[in-house]
C-alpha cells in the first residue's frame, strides 16, 4: 500500500506537467479543439483529469495521516470511485487514433452532460419555487435562458456531426454505462479490463449505505455467537479492495495522461496537399 501511495505522487506530478500545456494548432488535440469549436476537447479532458487527480490527492491524505497508514471504513470508496470514472472517461475519449471517433466520444459525453444538466436544472427550479421565495417572473427568465443555451449547444453538436459525417445516432444517446467504459479501457498489461470493471462495481457498492455489503467486503473477526444465532464481530476496513481500487485509479489516470500527451505531441495529418496526404507523427 505504501508503494501505491507513493505512486500517487508520480501521477500527480505528471498531471501537473501535462495540464499546463496548451494544444498547438498542428497537434491532434489542437485539431480536435478546432473541430469542436467552443466545446473544446482539451478543456473537457482537462476537467476530467483534474477531477481524477484531485480525488487521488484526497485519497492520499485520507490513507496517509501523520506518517501512518490509516484506512477508513467507508469514506474513501466514493472518492476512489470518482477517480476511476473520471480517468476512465478521459482515456475512453482520448484513446482512438481516428479523429472522428474521438469527436464522437467527446460529443457523446457532452450530450450526457447536457442531459444531466437539464435534470438538475428542473430540480433547482422546483426547489426555488417551493422554498426560495423567488418571483415567478424571475424563475421564468432563468428557465428560458437555460433552455435557450441547452438548445444552442445541442444544435451546435448536431451541426458539427453533420459537417464531419459523424452519425448523430451514435452521439444523441449519450454515454454507455460506466461499467462498459471501464471495461473497455481498464486493461493494464496482463490484467484485463473486466478486472477493472469488477473493482469499480465493488467499490460502487461499498459507496452506498449497506450493512451487508460493508460486512461481506470488510475484514471480519467473529468474537462470539448468541444462542439465537446473532454474531458478535469486529469489522475493520479491507486493505485488499482499497489497494485494488487505488491501483485501478492510478493506472487509468496515468494511461489517460499518456494519451493526452500523445495527442499533444502528434501532428494532425492534413486532409490533402500538393504532395498528397501528410501522415501523422
Is pLDDT of 275 > 50?
A: no
pLDDT, mean of residues 146-160: 95
pTM, entire model: 0.88
List, for residues 58-93, the tens digit of each pLDDT value: 999 988 877 778 888 888 999 999 999 999 999 999
pLDDT, mean of residues 12-39: 95
Tell me, what's the pLDDT at 231?
A: 73
Handedness of CA 24, 26, 27, 32 (dihedral sign): positive
26 or 190: which carries more pLDDT confidence? Answer: 26
- Phi, psi dihedrals of residue 222, rounded to the nearest 5°: -80, 125
End-to-end CA distance of the chain: 38
pLDDT, mean of residues 42-57: 97
What burial class does residue 48 get, using C-beta atoms within 10 Å of its C-beta: 0-12 exposed, 13-18 middle, 19+ buried?
A: buried
Q: At what angle do helices 76-94 and 239-265 cross, to 10 degrees?
A: 30
pLDDT, mean of residues 5-30: 93
Pairing of strands 68-69, 64-65: antiparallel
pLDDT, mean of residues 234-258: 89
The residue with cell 424563475 is 139
Question: DSSP letter string over the chain?
Answer: -HHHHHHHHHHHHHHHHHHTPPPPTTBHHHHHHHHHTTS-HHHHHHHHHHHHHHHHHHHHHHHEETTEE---SSTHHHHHHHHHHHHHHHHHHH--SSHHHHHHHHHHHHHHHHHHHHHHHHHHHHHIIIII---HHHHHHHHHHHHHHHHHHHHHHHHHHHHTT--THHHHT-PPPHHHHHHHH--BTTB-HHHHHHHHHHHHHHTS--HHHHHHTSEEEEEEE-TTS-EEEEEE--HHHHHHHHHHHHHHHHHHHHHHHHHHHSBPPPS--TTS-----
List, for residues 94-115, the tens digit of each pLDDT value: 999 999 999 999 999 999 999 9
Tell me, what's the pLDDT at 280?
A: 52
Tell me, what's the pLDDT at 161?
A: 96
Is pLDDT of 36 > 80?
A: yes
Cβ proximity of 35 and 268 under 8 Å: no
Q: At what angle do helices 99-127 and 76-94 cross, to 10 degrees?
A: 140
Q: Which residues contact 100 (CB under 8 A, 6 or more apart)?
A: 164, 165, 166
Tell me, what's the pLDDT at 37?
A: 93
Is pLDDT of 273 > 50?
A: no
Banded model confidence at residue 2, pLDDT cuts 50, 70, 90: low
pLDDT, mean of residues 258-281: 72
Banded model confidence at residue 1, pLDDT cuts 50, 70, 90: low
Amino acid at each position: 500500500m505504501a508503494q501505491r501511495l507513493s505512486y500517487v505522487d508520480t501521477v500527480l506530478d505528471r498531471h501537473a506537467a501535462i495540464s499546463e500545456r496548451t494544444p498547438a494548432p498542428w497537434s491532434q488535440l489542437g485539431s480536435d479543439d478546432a473541430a469542436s469549436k467552443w466545446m473544446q476537447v482539451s478543456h473537457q479532458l482537462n476537467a476530467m483529469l483534474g477531477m481524477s487527480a484531485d480525488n487521488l490527492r484526497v485519497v492520499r491524505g485520507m490513507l496517509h495521516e501523520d506518517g501512518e497508514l490509516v484506512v477508513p471504513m467507508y469514506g474513501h470508496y466514493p472518492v476512489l470511485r470518482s477517480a476511476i470514472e473520471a480517468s476512465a472517461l478521459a482515456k475512453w475519449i482520448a484513446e482512438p487514433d481516428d479523429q472522428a471517433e474521438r469527436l464522437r466520444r467527446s460529443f457523446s459525453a457532452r450530450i450526457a452532460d447536457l442531459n444531466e444538466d437539464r435534470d438538475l436544472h428542473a430540480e433547482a427550479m422546483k426547489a426555488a419555487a417551493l422554498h426560495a421565495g423567488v418571483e415567478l417572473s424571475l424563475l421564468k427568465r432563468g428557465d428560458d435562458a437555460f433552455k435557450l443555451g441547452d438548445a444552442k449547444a445541442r444544435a451546435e453538436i448536431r451541426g458539427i456531426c453533420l459537417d464531419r459525417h459523424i452519425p448523430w445516432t451514435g452521439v444523441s444517446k449519450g454515454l454507455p454505462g460506466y461499467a462498459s467504459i471501464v471495461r473497455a479501457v481498464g486493461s493494464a498489461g496482463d490484467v484485463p479490463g473486466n478486472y477493472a470493471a469488477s473493482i469499480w462495481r465493488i467499490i460502487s457498492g461499498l459507496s452506498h449505505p449497506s450493512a451487508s455489503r460493508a460486512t461481506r467486503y470488510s475484514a471480519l473477526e467473529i468474537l462470539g455467537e448468541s444462542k439465537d444465532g446473532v454474531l458478535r464481530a469486529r469489522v475493520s476496513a479491507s486493505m485488499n479492495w482499497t489497494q485494488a481500487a487505488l491501483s485501478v485509479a492510478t493506472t487509468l489516470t496515468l494511461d489517460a495522461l499518456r494519451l493526452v500527451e500523445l495527442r499533444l505531441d502528434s501532428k494532425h495529418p492534413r486532409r490533402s496537399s500538393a504532395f498528397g496526404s501528410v501522415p501523422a507523427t
